[in-house]
Amino acid sequence: MNLLRLAWASVWNRRVMALLVVLTIALSSALLIGVDILRLETKRSFERTVSGTDLIVGARTGAVPLLLYTVFHIGEPSNNLSYASYQEIAAKRNVAWTIPISLGDSHRGYRVIGTRSAFFEHYKFGSKRPLTFSRGVAFSGLFDVVLGAEVAQKLGYQIGSDVVIAHGTGKVSFAKHDKLPFKVVGILNRTGTPVDRSLMVSLEAISAIHIGWETGIGIGQVKPETLAQRDLTPTTITAFMLGLNNRIATFALQREINQFKAEPLMAVLPTATLQQLWQLVGVAENALLIVSAAVVLAGLLAMLIALWSSLEQRRREMAILRALGARASTVFGLLMLESAVMTLFGLVLGLALLFVSLAIAGPTLASSYGLYLEDARLSVRSLQLLAGIFLISLLISALPAFVAYRKALSDALAIRF
């Protein structure tokens, strides 16, 4: 009988204890690798949200908050910027395009973005991938609305559906612009970004639905037939994105905007600000990894305890093996191989549990947190962590194996340790 078959037979003979050890290693390794995968996918999700944008401009605030509420729709702006300032900056020689953004309204918990048609032409995500339509076209009429993929899917909207926008960004609102409903004219393809959870309308539409809301309670809301006589040019917007003809001019324009005299403004580089964001969350990320590693270590210690306690029960077994001519190194190798078998099964089971859990939790993570795990896979770091768990298990199991190795044949026959 070769050593591998003997090790398997020994593990199977103690299958209850072995199963507990395997489950412990499986759960702890699944937690560690799961944290690493979620960390990587979260970072990928953030990084692919916007690309090809040179600067994001808004009222003076922190760089990270500006990025969060403009691109990720997290938080609220501290102030708006004037439309006149936006037009002045957009007209500068090096500015190739701009995307104005006006926030503050919602529909059943989904953000409404007031913007221009340039949003569909110049907004890029991933590796500079453009927005594309699964159905319909971009808005052209005053009360046209374009839906993100998730909005259309979750709420069951089709081309031609009526949509009523609510004042504010809460999921429940009693202040609705119900006298001015919108009609769905386009639905975007899924992007895996906050765009999927957004509704896009024109800046003029945002101005129109807020006529009569100066007091905040919608007194004297305007009727649709009177809007043709109104000037719907916005007075303020939340922020805007811009691209340059020459990226060498990025820092010069950023400095110019940050020193803008008409009002306090801030221009940030999306990529650099993302790095700041990851530095902020790095402490929490490392803390999660440390906790997960501690759980893995506890699982490996459980295997050590199981192997050590089994030595007392296996003195006769070891004595028989030695009497049959097995070398001390064979006994050492047997115990090491048993721990390797249990660890390997634990790691495989842990990965199976992890990816099943990710498949089940994927829709919830996507709908609630915008975290898409379709491309979740083991990274080089995950493979290194798995290899580390396996090597540490061998090191830990070497202690009881060494004790068994040192026992002489006569001492083993006497059943004394």
Q: What is the pLDDT of residues 331-386, one digit of tens each?
A: 677 777 878 888 899 899 999 998 888 888 777 766 555 566 666 678 788 888 88
| Predicted confidence band of residue 231 (pLDDT cuts 50, 70, 90) | confident
Query: Nearest 5°: phi and psi at 360?
Result: -75, -45
Dihedral, 383, 387, 388, 394 alpha carbons, nearest 10: 160
- In angstroms, the CA 244 to CA 286 distance is 37
Average pLDDT over residues 134-163: 94
Supply the pLDDT for residue 157: 96
Average pLDDT over residues 16-23: 83
Residue 415 pLDDT exceeds 50 = no
Strand extents, DSSP E, 259-298: 265-268
- In angstroms, the CA 294 to CA 288 distance is 10
Q: pLDDT for 202-219, tens place per residue?
A: 999 998 888 766 555 555
Torsion over CA: 63, 67, 70, 72 (sign): negative
Q: Which of residues 211 and 118 earns the better pLDDT score?
A: 118
Supply the pLDDT for residue 188: 96
Average pLDDT over residues 216-234: 67
Q: Which of residues 57 and 281 earns the better pLDDT score?
A: 57
Check residue 216 and give left, alpha or beta (phi > 0: left; psi -120 to 50: alpha): left
